[in-house]
Structure 1
Amino acid sequence: MRRTHRFASAGTLAILVLCLGCDTGSRHDDVDGTAASGVTGPTGPGGGTAGSIRLSRLAPAQGSPQGGTSVTLEGTGFQGALIASVHFFDPSSEVPGSANEANGVRVLSDTELTCETPAHAAGVVDVRVVLQNGAFATLNNAFTFDPNAPGGGVPARVADFGDPTPWAVELLELANRARRDPAAEGRRLGVDLSPGAGYAPRPPLSHNGFLAAAAAKHTGDMIGQNFYGHWDLAGVGPTGRILDSTFDLHASYGTDRASNRTENIGVGSGNQFSSPQAVHDAFIVDAGTNPPKHRDSLLGKSAASRDAREIGMGVRFGETANPTPPTQTNVGVAGTPLAFSPNHWVTQEIARTKRDRALISGVVYNDDGDGICEAFPPYRGNSGGEGRGGVTVTLTHSSGFTLQTQTSSAGFYAFETFVDGDFTITIEGAQTTVRVAGDNVKVDHVNGQIRTY
């Protein structure tokens, strides 16, 4: 169902210029009532004694149930203490013992020691340091064994890919096709996207649910409050929205809540902007925008988007703005009141996390032959698309580690990797092995066959 590109004469298109330049830990104040404070024990090797210890903090505060997370305990009195063991245990069902004992305990200084977590069932646990004379200090509810925790000795986790709409998936597919071969995309649209113009192939983007929430909020605000712009009526910009979504935004984007280094927006009426293909084409052509910032952000040419790995979209077709919006109190800072009546709205947020790790993502769908997972008109409600939801996708690392997820309602899935190397993706009996070497990888399942990019 690939529609031929065209711009109809009816309708108005408005695209605002993209405005570029747009420690975890568990703290506890005290210790268990039976803490090792003021306890003296026998002299040990090197002359150490079981003196007073106190625990104040553990970081990181989460890790994989498979164990192997390197953690640092902070407190006082470690240098002279005779530490026998460190335990991660659930006091409601366990006692400290060999089954929940940490590995590799090392005293770094009087205020720090490190160890590696043991394997443990998912859940919140206490952390206890035991001295040779049996005295101990405890941090209550200090660590969470989380199957989706980053790192922790595991090579990957299920990514925060959310539940993108079919039309958001189609927009992502179109963007990734253009990123894979910008020159071909340019020939289709009559735009120079050759290497000579600065457009090189870029790795695929993955969908992120937190970025999508930030984008959807802004699209909803523009419709509900009848304005158009990167800043809402309180003056909050894209960075502020993304931070509010709890997306773990990379430090390179800064923390200025009014800044924008991540966002494309557009509105249109009539036949303009009325489908995912029309939205994509408008952003890539970027007519009247110099430099073409929407295009450059999607294709990874701009400085802000060059290293981006994920995208989230708020896309709403066939909706008109609130005719009686709230009073605009921030004119000149917030969005511009609309002089026409658009009924198609798009916000895109494109960014990377602080971890900045490669993602393996893709779409499971039944293709009609054009190589794109399309949405079906009218692009709202339950109109659906070619994507297949609820399909099990299995990731296997070369170490034998295995992880599974199910595709979203529109057929999307994603894993975040923590190490480079070989990963095998298996979908309904079809499988392929891909090598992660820093960049995102795309593995689709199309009409029963695996396709990689």
Structure 2
Amino acid sequence: MTLKMSCCRGSRAGVPRNRQLALESLESRTLLSVAAEPGSLVLESAGAEPTAYEQYLLELINRGRLDPSAEAARYGIDLNEDINPGTISTDAKQPLAFSPFLISAAREHSDWMLATNTFSHTGEGGSSSGDRIAAAGYPFVPPYGWAENIAAQGTYATSQTAQDTGKIHAMLYASSGHRANQLNGSYHEVGLGLAFGKFTPTSPSPLSLIATEDFVYSGTSVFLTGVVYDDVVLANQFYTPGEGLGSVTITATRVSDNQVFTVQTWASGGYTLALPSGDYTVVASGDALCNPVTYRGVTIQTENVKLDFNPRENTPPVVATLTAAPDPVTRSDNLTLSAGGVSDTDGSVTRVEFYRGQTLLGVDEDGTDGWSLTVATADWPLGEQTLFARAQDNAQAWSGPASTSVTVAGTAVDLGEVDFHTLTALELSTSSLYYSLQTAHDGLLSVEVVAPKPPKSARARLYSQNPEENPSAVPLVSSELLDDNQRLDWKVEAGQTYFVEFYGVNPAFDVRIANLVQHNGTTVTVFGTDADDQFVFNAANSRLVSINGMAYTFADTEVALVEFDGGQGRDRAEFRDSAGDESLEAWATEATFVNSPNDSVADFTVNASNFEELQGYANSGGQDSAVLHGSAQNDKFKAEPAEDYAKVYGGAMYNRVKFFDQVDAYGGGGKDFARVFDTPGDEVFEGTMGLSRLAGEGFEIGMYDFRQVLAYGTGGGYDTATLTDSARKDEFHGRSHKSEMFDMVTDGDAYQITVRAFDVVHARATDQTAGTGGNDIAKLWGTALDDYVEAAEDWLSYGIHRPELDPLYEILAFETVKIRETPGGADQADTADNLTFALTFEGNWEML
């Protein structure tokens, strides 16, 4: 495709313009995102070389392509002035690379126009710009296209000047069509030709500068281009004619395969080098340079890249300090390096590089918010690390290094001395987790991974050395699957240091670490902690010991004695029986659980102390008994045989047994209170001061030394109660809803026994003739039904006609019996003449 445009004439008549063009400085080093076709040929080997002024004109054009908006502002016009809005975008355009063939074509046309006093795109022999480009030897490769700008600038100068060259560029840039050609992002090669001499079309100026600009896109070749210059003619960090350095070798080495591409700069300082795609290290070297100048990380892709070199001698930049935070840093955490006092007295700092030893960590190329770098330390060795920072200025000079040191600590979290420890919500997403600990006891160190849901792939390893510091450390033991959790156990001594590694890909899991169980011979010692502990002994199948959820299973013959001391905290002990006969005896903070030596189960004894709660279970078989002792405080005892449990509680104590065949409870002092409930079956209750007992099918419950005892017969069946007096002066009350026996002197403070809803109640006083039972009184309240009383010698029976006689009370050997007035009914009494006790009636009783 051929692009054509109308010709453009510059200042060609009258007095030349005196307006000075403001040339703002442009960063000498330009990197754009570009690429090259593999196998592209270097085209600099034939055609013409650019002059210094042609090189200058190219720098001006490329400056505008790098930042179109800034260039338009520089010349005081709108980027799309006189053309359709959006025709030229504000995006950076790839830099144009000189083609010697295009230079020849452009320069020959400028020379022809000067020689023939002609200003036209049609050239010698009626040629078009495309004809001239092809004739110069440029190899068009489809798809391709070209465009041409021409201009003439009258001047009173006697030779070419940078000022006139700048005016030529300003004229072309101000013209919409020519500006569109200069800023067309499709073009990637250019030829610029300048001719200077007498030219009538620009008269009355005695001389003129004529320019031809040929723009081409062709094929897929991509170029590294730029200029090497010493910024001494006009120290503005922009190329000026006279500053170019020729015969400088540009060497581009592709990082991936070390393939090398070279070219030498023209006398103008410019160069063009075709490159295949890749990442390159580019070095400029030669006699014109004091030292080689190197650029790393130059990427060639699909567009040209501009890389300039300005080796002017200057004062190097300075980095005064380097700090690292945090210090120490835990490996895998981020570390921030900050360079302080970064300055350059005769230029600007363009980058600061940060190193660990000889390893480049990264680069900060924007110091607007300070010069710093944040890096991950996951692969750093532990211990002290030396860090460096150095700065480079706009002239590629380097500062001396600033240094500091930082200590890299392992990621292992020190748990300190561990008897029992839990870790929650751990996650294995990127790397292993490490912990260190010191053992608290001789015995087993156990680590258990508790993963609540699949994939349950977290594993554990135990080390005696820190695996982060010593990668060759061999684990002492690795976890295995046990009861659906990964688990490891290792025998240790107190005061030793160990390291635990968790590895795998589990998204979330918890961990239990325990050093609370010691197994010596047939003795297992379980230590409590200062926190709340949960101890379990289970003899149902083998000998299972569990502390805070960490279970240990032993064979029957491996364990004869288990000792548990709860220590501080609110601790709970739980005993579970075997198929044999067991007995449990428990006090406020101590308990012993023993297997009978007369059964078929291997003997064992479990001693527990310093606990606040005890739970005993006897549902595995055999004849099992429990003795529960109260404390010196005001304790309570409650038994519900229908629910198969009994418990003593009060203050900080809570001891409970379940499924035991026989339970005896003892008040330990204080105002102790016992309650016992019947079952749907038939029960017998016996109560006297200091001892009460309830018995039924499959159970027996004894209550000793309780000041108050309350028994219920509300559960069903035929229940009888017998209340016997003490050596004190006692009183018995019989009512339809309850009966009670108590001492009259303290009004029941010494003892009081109450029974509710029993079918019949027997009240017995000590034999009157013995004279040891006190002066006892029985008081009976009647019912609204037909009550019936029969009495003879030292006994009395009280019942109800329903119409058959249903006995309620049997009274024996009381000194006094009082029958209270009944609320109704036809009440009758039949009393013998030989009564040995005083009997009185209140109300309307019919005496038979």
TM-score by length of 2: 0.29
Q: 2:237: which partner in 1?
A: 371
1:293 to 168, 171, 177: 177
Match of 1:202 among 70, 78, 93: 93
Q: Residue 155 of structure 1: CA displacement? A: 5.5
Structure 2 residue corresponding to 1:284, chosen from 173, 183, 198? 173
Q: Which one of the candidate residues 226, 231, 249 is aligned to 2:122?
A: 231
1:262 lines up with 2:125 in the alignment: no
Q: Is the 8 A contact 1:12 1:268 kept in 2?
A: no
CA RMSD for the aligned pairs? 3.1
- Moved >6 Å (runs of 4+): 337-341
**What is the alpha-carbon distance in structure 2 between the residues aligned to residue 425 and residue 276 of structure 1?**
31
Q: Distance in 2 between matches of 1:406 and 1:168?
A: 18
Q: Residue in 2 aligned with 1:96?
A: none
Please give the per-residue CA displacement for 1:235-282, whole angstroms capped at 9, x wherever unaligned: 11101000101101243457xxxxxx4110011213699622111111
- d(CA) in 1 for partners of 2:40 and 2:293? 20
Structure 1 pair 217–351 and aligned structure 2 pair: CA distance change class (3 A): same
Deviation at 1:346, TM superposition (A): 0.6
1:193: how far off?
2.0
- Distance in 2 (alpha carbons) for counterparts of 1:237 and 1:401: 40
Distance in 1, matches of 2:221 and 2:124, equals 34
Flag the 1:253–1:400 CA change in 2: closer, same or farther, 3 A.
Answer: closer
Residue among 187, 209, 212 paired with 1:308: 187
Equivalent runs, 1:181-200 vs 2, <5 Å: 181-193=67-79, 198-199=88-89, 200=91
Judge conservation of contact 1:157–1:403 (CA < 8 Å) in 2. Answer: no
Secondary structure of the corresponding residue to residue 314 of structure 1: strand
Structure 1 residues 184 and 269: CA distance shift in structure 2, 3 A:
same
Tell me which amino acid in the other structure corresponds to 1:388: L
Match of 2:155, SS state, is coil
Distance 1:237 1:279, change over 3 A: same
Query: What is the CA distance between 1:410 and its match in structure 2?
Result: 0.9
Residue aligning to 2:261: 403
Query: What does 1:77-92 correspond to in 2, within 5 Å?
Result: none
Native 8 Å contact 1:156 1:415 kept in 2? no
Matched with 1:359 is: 223
Q: Given residue 251 of structure 1, which amino acid in structure 2 is its aligned partner?
A: P
> Structure 2: how far apart are the matches of 1:191 and 1:222?
30
Instruction: Give the TM-score, by structure 1 length.
Output: 0.53
Q: Any idea what SS the aligned residue of 1:434 has?
A: strand
Instruction: Report the 3-state secondary structure (helix = DSSP H, G, I; strand = E; otherwise coil) of the residue aligned with 2:114.
Output: helix
Secondary structure in structure 1 of the residue aligned to 2:244: coil
Shift of 1:427: 1.2
Aligned residues of 1:365 and 1:445 also touching (Cα < 8 A): yes
For residue 31 of structure 1, what is the aligned residue in structure 2? none
Higher helix share: 1
Q: CA deviation at 1:218?
A: 0.6
**1:366-395 deviation digits (Å, cap 9, x = unpaired):** 1243232111xxxxxxxxx11001111111
2:281 to 399, 405, 424: 424
Deviation at 1:178, TM superposition (A): 0.7
Q: Secondary structure of 1:446's partner?
A: coil
Equivalent residues in 2 for 1:380-391, closer than 5 Å = 385-391=242-248
Uncovered stretches (5+) of structure 2, i.e. residues with no partner: 1-10, 19-35, 286-291, 313-394, 398-848
Shift of 1:299: 1.1
Conserved in 1, the CA contact under 8 Å of 2:262 and 2:273? no
CA contact (8 A) 2:40 2:221 kept: no
Q: Distance in 2 between matches of 1:445 and 1:209?
A: 21
1:392 paired with 2:249, answer yes
- Does the 8 A contact of 2:225 with 2:270 survive in 1? yes
Return the letter of the residue paired with 1:414.
T
CA distance in 1, matches of 2:220, 2:204: 41
Inter-partner Cα distance in structure 1 for 2:43 and 2:308? 16
- 3-state secondary structure, aligned to 1:243: helix
1:320 aligned residue: 198
Is this contact kept in 1: 2:99–2:189, CA < 8 A? yes
How far, CA to CA, are the matches of 2:154 and 2:267 in structure 1?
28
> SS where residue 192 of structure 1 aligns?
coil
Greater relative contact order, per chain length (Cα 8 Å cut-off, separation 6+): 1
State the alpha-carbon separation in 2 of the partners of residues 206 and 450 from structure 1: 23
Tell me, in whole angstroms, the C-alpha distance in 2 between the residues paired with 1:263 and 1:188.
Answer: 24
Task: Compare CA radii of gyration and give the structure with the larger one.
Answer: 2
Report which of the two has the higher share of strand. Answer: 2
**What SS is found at the alignment partner of 1:408?**
coil
1:326-377 residue CA offsets vs partner (Å, 9 max, x unmatched): xxxxxxxxxxx88876621111111023x321100110001243232111xx
SS of 1:386 mapped into structure 2: coil
Contact 1:12 1:270 in 2 (8 A): no
